[in-house]
Chain A
Amino acid sequence: MSSSPLRPESALANTWTIARRELRDALRSRWFALNTAAFVLLGVGVSFLSASAGGGGGLSGFGRTTAGLVNLVTLVVPLMALTAGAGSVAGERERGMLAFLLSQPVSRVEVIAGKWLGLALALAASIFLGFGLCAAIVATRANADGAGALVALAMLSLFLALGMLGIGLLISVLSRRTSVATGLAVFCWLLLAFATDLGLMAGTLTWKLSIQTILAACLANPLQVFKIWSLDAAGIPLDVLGPVGQYTMDRLPNALPWIAAASLTLWAIVPGASAALLFARKPAA
Chain B
Amino acid sequence: MIHIALACLLAAISARTLPQPSTTTSTGAGDLGALIAAAQPGDVVRVSPGCYRGVVTIDKPLTLEGIGRPVIEGFGRGDLILVTAPGVTVRGFDIRATGTDLDKENCGIRVLAPRAVIENNHLDDVLFGIDLRGAPDSIVRGNIVGGKNLDIARRGDGLRIWKSDRTRIEDNTLHDGRDAVLWYSTGVEVRGNRVERCRYGFHLMYSHGVRIERNELVGNSVGLYIMYSDTVDVRDNLIARNRGPSGFGIGLKEVSDYRVERNLLRENCVGIYMDDAPFRPGAAEICGNVIACNNTAMSVLPNSKGNTIAGNAFFDNLRTVTPLGRGDLYDNSFARGEAGNFWSDYIGYDEDGDGVGEWVHEPVALFSELMEREPRLAVLRFSPAEQAIDFVARAIPAMRPGPAFVDEYPLTQLPSGIAGAYAAGRTGREEEEGMGAVGAAFAALALLAVSALAALGGLS
Q: Which residues of A contact B (CB under 8 A)?
A: 2, 20, 23-24, 26-28, 53-62, 64, 67, 70-71, 74-75, 121-122, 124-125, 128-129, 131-133, 135-136, 138-140, 142, 146-148, 150-151, 154, 193-194, 197-198, 200-201, 204-205, 208-209, 211, 214-215, 218, 223-224, 227-228, 231, 237, 239-246
CB contacts between A and B, total, < 8 Å: 213
Check if B443 sits within 8 Å of A242, measured CB to CB.
no
Inside 8 A of B383's CB, which chain A residues have their CB? 71, 74, 193, 197, 223-224, 227
Check if B457 sits within 8 Å of A57, measured CB to CB.
no
A230 to B423, CA, bound (A): 28
Q: Which of B243, B380, B447 contacts A129 (CB 8 A)?
A: B447
1/0 per residue, CB under 8 A from A, across B423-447: the answer is 1100111011001111110111111
Is B292 on the interface with A (CB-CB < 8 A)? yes
Q: Which of B318, B422, B437 contacts A240 (CB 8 A)?
A: B318
A71-B387 contact given A57-B420, A148-B435, A197-B380, CB 8 Å threshold: yes
Q: Which of B34-42, B280-288, B366-374 contacts A (4 or more CB under 8 A)?
A: B366-374
Is B269 on the interface with A (CB-CB < 8 A)? yes
Q: Which of B374, B420, B435 contacts A146 (CB 8 A)?
A: B435
Is B313 on the interface with A (CB-CB < 8 A)? yes
Is B153 on the interface with A (CB-CB < 8 A)? no
Is B160 on the interface with A (CB-CB < 8 A)? no
Of A27, A57, A124, A150, most buried by chain B (CB within 10 Å of CB) is A57
Q: Which of B379, B414, B447, B457 contacts A20 (CB 8 A)?
A: B457
Check if B384 sits within 8 Å of A125, measured CB to CB.
no
A interface, over-half SS: helix
Give me 9 other A-B pairs in contact (C-beta within 8 A), A147-B435, A240-B318, A242-B378 excluded: A20-B457, A54-B292, A57-B423, A71-B382, A75-B384, A125-B449, A139-B438, A201-B377, A227-B382
A218-B443 contact given A53-B316, A59-B423, A205-B373, CB 8 Å threshold: no
Q: Which of B382, B422, B442 contacts A135 (CB 8 A)?
A: B442
Check if B370 sits within 8 Å of A128, measured CB to CB.
no
Check if A239 sits within 8 Å of B295, measured CB to CB.
yes
A-B contact pairs, 19 of them (CB 8 A): A26-B457, A53-B316, A53-B344, A57-B421, A58-B424, A59-B290, A59-B316, A61-B292, A74-B384, A125-B449, A128-B446, A135-B446, A136-B439, A139-B439, A142-B431, A148-B438, A193-B385, A194-B385, A240-B295
Q: Which of B382, B431, B439 contacts A150 (CB 8 A)?
A: B439
Check if B382 sits within 8 Å of A70, measured CB to CB.
yes
Of B376, B435, B436, most buried by chain A (CB within 10 Å of CB) is B376
Of B292, B382, B383, B420, most buried by chain A (CB within 10 Å of CB) is B383
Check if B443 sits within 8 Å of A132, measured CB to CB.
yes
Check if B442 sits within 8 Å of A150, measured CB to CB.
yes
B interface, over-half SS: helix
Inside 8 A of B431's CB, which chain A residues have their CB? 142
Inside 8 A of B336's CB, which chain A residues have their CB? none
Check if A209 sits within 8 Å of B376, measured CB to CB.
yes
Using CB atoms, name the residue of chain A closest to B427: A58
Check if B382 sits within 8 Å of A242, measured CB to CB.
no
A139-B381 contact given A59-B292, A125-B453, A204-B374, CB 8 Å threshold: no
A23-B388 contact given A139-B439, A147-B442, CB 8 Å threshold: no
> Which residues of B301-334 are within 8 A (CB) of A?
313, 315-316, 318
Inside 8 A of B370's CB, which chain A residues have their CB? 201, 205
Check if B459 sits within 8 Å of A20, measured CB to CB.
yes
A122 to B453, CA, bound (A): 8
A71 to B436, CA, bound (A): 23
A194-B384 contact given A53-B316, A135-B440, CB 8 Å threshold: yes
A9 to B269, CA, bound (A): 61
Q: Which of A24, A75, A136, A218 contacts B458 (CB 8 A)?
A: A24
Inside 8 A of B457's CB, which chain A residues have their CB? 20, 23-24, 26-28, 121-122
A84 to B288, CA, bound (A): 52
Check if A59 sits within 8 Å of B459, measured CB to CB.
no
Inside 8 A of B396's CB, which chain A residues have their CB? none
> Which residues of B349-398 are within 8 A (CB) of A?
370-371, 373-385, 387-389
A150 to B446, CA, bound (A): 12
A197 to B334, CA, bound (A): 35
A242 to B368, CA, bound (A): 12
Check if A24 sits within 8 Å of B420, measured CB to CB.
no
A64 to B382, CA, bound (A): 10
Check if A204 sits within 8 Å of B377, measured CB to CB.
yes
Q: Which of A62, A125, A204 contacts B267 (CB 8 A)?
A: A62
Check if B385 sits within 8 Å of A61, measured CB to CB.
no
Check if B440 sits within 8 Å of A242, measured CB to CB.
no
- Rounded to whole Å, the gap between the CB of B381 and the closest CB of chain A is 6
Using CB atoms, name the residue of chain A closest to B318: A240
Check if B315 sits within 8 Å of A151, measured CB to CB.
no
Is B454 on the interface with A (CB-CB < 8 A)? yes
A57 to B238, CA, bound (A): 14
Q: Which of B267, B381, B444 contacts A241 (CB 8 A)?
A: B381
Check if B385 sits within 8 Å of A198, measured CB to CB.
yes
- Rounded to whole Å, the gap between the CB of A90 and the closest CB of chain B is 21
Check if A135 sits within 8 Å of B443, measured CB to CB.
yes
Is B245 on the interface with A (CB-CB < 8 A)? yes
Is B260 on the interface with A (CB-CB < 8 A)? no
- Rounded to whole Å, the gap between the CB of B341 and the closest CB of chain A is 13
Inside 8 A of A151's CB, which chain B residues have their CB? 438, 442
A193 to B384, CA, bound (A): 6
Inside 8 A of A200's CB, which chain B residues have their CB? 380
A28 to B453, CA, bound (A): 12
Check if A147 sits within 8 Å of B439, measured CB to CB.
yes
Inside 8 A of A194's CB, which chain B residues have their CB? 384-385, 388
Inside 8 A of B447's CB, which chain A residues have their CB? 129, 132
Q: Which of A55, A56, A129, A138 contacts B446 (CB 8 A)?
A: A129
